[in-house]
Amino acid sequence: MRLALGQSGQLCLLTGPSKTGKTTLYREVLASRGEIPLIVQCDRQTKLEDVWLHALEGIDFERAESRQTASSAKGSVEAELSLKLGWAWLAEKAARIKGTITGEKSESELKRKILASPGPDLLIPALKHTNYVLVIEDFHYLAEDVKVILFQQWKRFVDNEVSVLVLGTTHRAVDIANSNRDLVGRIAQFDVGSWAVEDLEKIISQGFDYLNIKITPDLKNFIAMESVGLPLVTQQICLEMLTSLPAEYIDEVSGQKIALDRTTVGGSMHTVAKNRFTQFESYYSTLIKGPREGARKYKTYELVLACFTLDPIKFSLSRMEIDQRLGKLKLASSDIPPQASLNSTLGALKKFQERRGFEFLEWRPAEDILYIIEPSFLFYVRWRTMKGTAQKQMDLFEQLLSSTSGWFTVDIGKTILETEIWSREVDVKALLRRRPKPAE
Report the C-alpha gap between 246 and 112 in whole angstroms: 60
Confidence (pLDDT) at 180: 59
Instruction: Tell me the pairing of strands 68-71 and 361-364.
Output: unpaired
Report the C-alpha gap between 184 and 203 in whole angstroms: 39
Low-confidence ranges of the chain (pLDDT < 70): 68-83, 95-104, 169-185, 247-257, 293-295, 387-440
Other C-beta atoms closer than 10 Å to the C-beta of 237 total 27
Yes or no: say if 181 and 152 are a contact pair by the CB < 8 Å rule: no
Give CA separation, 42 vs 47, 62, 169, 342, in Å: 9, 26, 13, 31
**The amino acid at 53:** L
Sequence-distant (6+) residues with CB within 8 A of 158 are: 9, 10, 11, 182, 183, 186
Confidence (pLDDT) at 203: 95
Which residue, among 123, 113, 120, 121, has the nearest Cα to 58 in the 3D structure?
A: 123
Q: Check whether the bond before 312 is cis (ω within 30° of 0).
A: yes
Report the C-alpha gap between 263 and 277 in whole angstroms: 21
Phi and psi (nearest 5°) for 374?
A: -110, 100
Yes or no: say if 367 and 374 are a contact pair by the CB < 8 Å rule: no
Yes or no: say if 75 and 69 are a contact pair by the CB < 8 Å rule: no
For the chain, what is the HEC assignment? CHHHHCCCCCEEEEECCCCCCHHHHHHHHHHHCCCEEEEEECCCCCCHHHHHHHHHHCCCCCCCCECEEEECCCCEEEECCCCCCCHHHHHHHCHHHHCCCCCCCCHHHHHHHHHHCCCHHHHHHHHHHECEEEEEECHHHCCHHHHHHHHHHHHHHHHCCCCEEEEECHHHHHHHHCCCHHHCCCEEEEECCCCCHHHHHHHHHHHHHHCCCCCCHHHHHHHHHHCCCCHHHHHHHHHHHHHCCCCCCHHHCCCCCCCCCHHHHHHHHHHHHHHHCHHHHHHHHHHHHCCCHHHCCCCHHHHHHHHCCCCCCCCEEEHHHHHHHHHHCCCCHHHCCCHHHHHHHHHHHHHHHHHCCCCCEEEECCCCEEEECCHHHHHHHHHCCCCCCCCCCCCHHHHHHCCCCCCCCCCCCCCCCCCCCCCCCCCHHHHCCCCCCCCC
Confidence (pLDDT) at 12: 87
Confidence (pLDDT) at 136: 93
Give CA separation, 412 vs 247, 323, 416, in Å: 11, 40, 11
Instruction: Tell me the pairing of strands 316-318 and 369-372.
Output: antiparallel
User: What angle in degrees, to the nearest 10, is found between the helix axes of 262-276 and 231-243?
Assistant: 110
Confidence (pLDDT) at 190: 84
